[in-house]
């Protein structure tokens, strides 16, 4: 089969590799019909994730069709359309029973690490992928949900909702600021309304993404390069600060921005993946009773989010701004890596 293979920092190729095969009774083989590229893949290509070895097939998001199942798989069968979750779940360990799938203790990949696709085992940017713990790591697709919608439920929707909205303790009537209107930030914007947020402020450098954020549920937008960006945010909160500030970029400056605009007793939810240390001003935050949260997505809300997409309550299809075939993987990476120029949110790569 063909797959997108990591060749070391700055190197990737769409090349021939062996087809995946069933290794364990709980495995399934999935024909990948639709996949996409995540900002994490770009971090890997920069050499920021040293655990990813040369020769690894990248990708952790996908939707497809099961072609084969292991001997212990009883609830799935060849021909089933499925979402491939970005997080593995054995379903039996103490962490999985607690819903902490991001730290599944199953042996696949590495015990205690839930993100394995395109990281510790071969991923979804390929014609076929082996999925361990298939009954817990795949989600059956209802007929009314397209592959293009489904692929957005592999990672960005549960990440924005769980780590941004749930960890951020959004409650009815809250004013929420989302710093970073990329795909995960937009997912947080789209799902903050599920918990009754009254105002949602999108903050970003990119005016195009800010305009797009309105269609995902943002009630106000602020250009972060404006000298008075902070005053603009506070003007929507009677000067008190936001109830919840969601960081969805992953750099020290945007984390600091969140701590500057949150009100006393408020919540800062860090969703962005940081590659550098962040200075935490406890000398200032402690007296404001600020709660700071962070984490890796568990993807345990995917079934609920899938039902909402099926009922057309969440705009999953709006993330797909650019479309490519499997023979255009290199072009897709180029477009996604230049998102500020191309206007890309998520590139959809389909058969």
pLDDT tens per residue, range 236-261: 998 999 999 999 999 999 999 999 99
Q: Give mean pLDDT, residues 132-160.
A: 97
Fold of the domain built from segment(s) 159-294: Rossmann fold (3.40.50)
**CA 175 – CA 192 distance, rounded (Å):** 10
The confidence score (pLDDT) of residue 75 equals 97
> Would the pLDDT of 48 be above 90?
no
Q: What is the mean pLDDT of the chain?
A: 97
> Would the pLDDT of 59 be above 90?
yes
Token pair recorded at residue 194: 């599920």
The confidence score (pLDDT) of residue 276 equals 86
**CA 274 – CA 245 distance, rounded (Å):** 16
The confidence score (pLDDT) of residue 58 equals 98
Residue-range domain boundaries for the chain: 2-155+299-350, 159-294
* Best CA proximity match to 83, nearest among 294, 296, 310: 310
* Best CA proximity match to 297, nearest among 270, 276, 279, 275: 270
Three-class SS state of 37: coil
Helix or strand run (H / E) with residue 6: strand 2-6
* Best CA proximity match to 118, nearest among 49, 46, 24: 49
The confidence score (pLDDT) of residue 218 equals 98
3-state helix, strand, coil split of the chain in percent (to 5) is: 30, 25, 45
Task: Give the phi and the psi of residue 100 in degrees, each rounded to 5.
Answer: -95, 65
Token pair recorded at residue 232: 């603009």
Fold of the domain built from segment(s) 2-155+299-350: Quinone Oxidoreductase; Chain A, domain 1 (3.90.180)
Q: Is-same-fold flag (2-155+299-350; 159-294)?
A: no
The confidence score (pLDDT) of residue 258 equals 98
The pLDDT tens digits for 60-97 are 999 999 999 999 999 999 999 999 999 999 999 999 99
**For residue 282, how many C-alpha atoms fall within 13 Å in the half-sphere facing its CB?**
0
The pLDDT tens digits for 95-136 are 999 999 999 999 999 999 999 999 999 999 999 999 999 999
**CA 186 – CA 212 distance, rounded (Å):** 9
The confidence score (pLDDT) of residue 275 equals 81
The confidence score (pLDDT) of residue 294 equals 97
> Would the pLDDT of 274 be above 90?
no
């Amino acid at each position: 089969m063909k797959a997108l293979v990591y060749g070391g920092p700055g190197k990737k190729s769409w090349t021939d590799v062996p087809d995946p095969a069933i290794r364990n009774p709980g495995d399934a083989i999935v024909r990948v019909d639709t996949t996409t590229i995540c900002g994490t893949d770009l971090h890997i290509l920069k050499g920021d994730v040293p655990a990813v070895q040369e020769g690894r097939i990248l990708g952790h998001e996908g939707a497809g069709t099961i072609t084969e199942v292991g001997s212990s798989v009883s609830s799935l069968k060849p021909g089933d359309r499925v979402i491939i979750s970005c997080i593995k779940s054995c379903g039996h360990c103490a962490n999985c029973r607690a819903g902490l799938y991001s730290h599944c203790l199953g042996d696949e990949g590495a015990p205690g690490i839930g993100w394995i696709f395109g990281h510790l085992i071969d991923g979804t940017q390929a014609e076929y992928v082996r999925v361990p713990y298939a009954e817990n790591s795949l989600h059956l697709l209802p007929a009314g949900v397209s592959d293009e919608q489904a692929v957005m439920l592999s990672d960005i929707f549960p990440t924005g909702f769980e780590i941004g909205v749930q960890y951020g303790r959004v409650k009815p009537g809250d004013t929420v600021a989302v710093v970073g209107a990329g795909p995960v930030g937009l997912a947080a914007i789209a799902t903050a309304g599920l918990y009754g947020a009254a105002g949602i402020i999108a903050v970003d450098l990119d005016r195009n993404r800010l305009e797009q954020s309105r269609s995902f549920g943002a009630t106000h937008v602020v250009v972060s390069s404006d000298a008075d960006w902070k005053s603009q945010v506070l003007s929507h909160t009677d000067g008190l600060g936001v109830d919840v500030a969601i960081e969805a970029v992953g750099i020290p400056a945007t984390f600091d921005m969140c701590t500057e605009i949150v009100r006393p007793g408020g919540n800062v939810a860090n969703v962005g993946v940081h590659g550098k240390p962040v200075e935490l001003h406890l000398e200032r935050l402690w007296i404001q009773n600020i709660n700071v949260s962070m984490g890796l997505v568990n993807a345990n809300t995917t079934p609920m989010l899938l039902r909402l997409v099926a009922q057309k309550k969440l705009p999953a299809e709006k993330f797909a701004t650019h479309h490519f075939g499997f023979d255009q993987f290199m072009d897709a990476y180029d477009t996604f890596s230049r998102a500020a120029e191309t206007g890309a949110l998520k590139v959809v790569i389909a058969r």
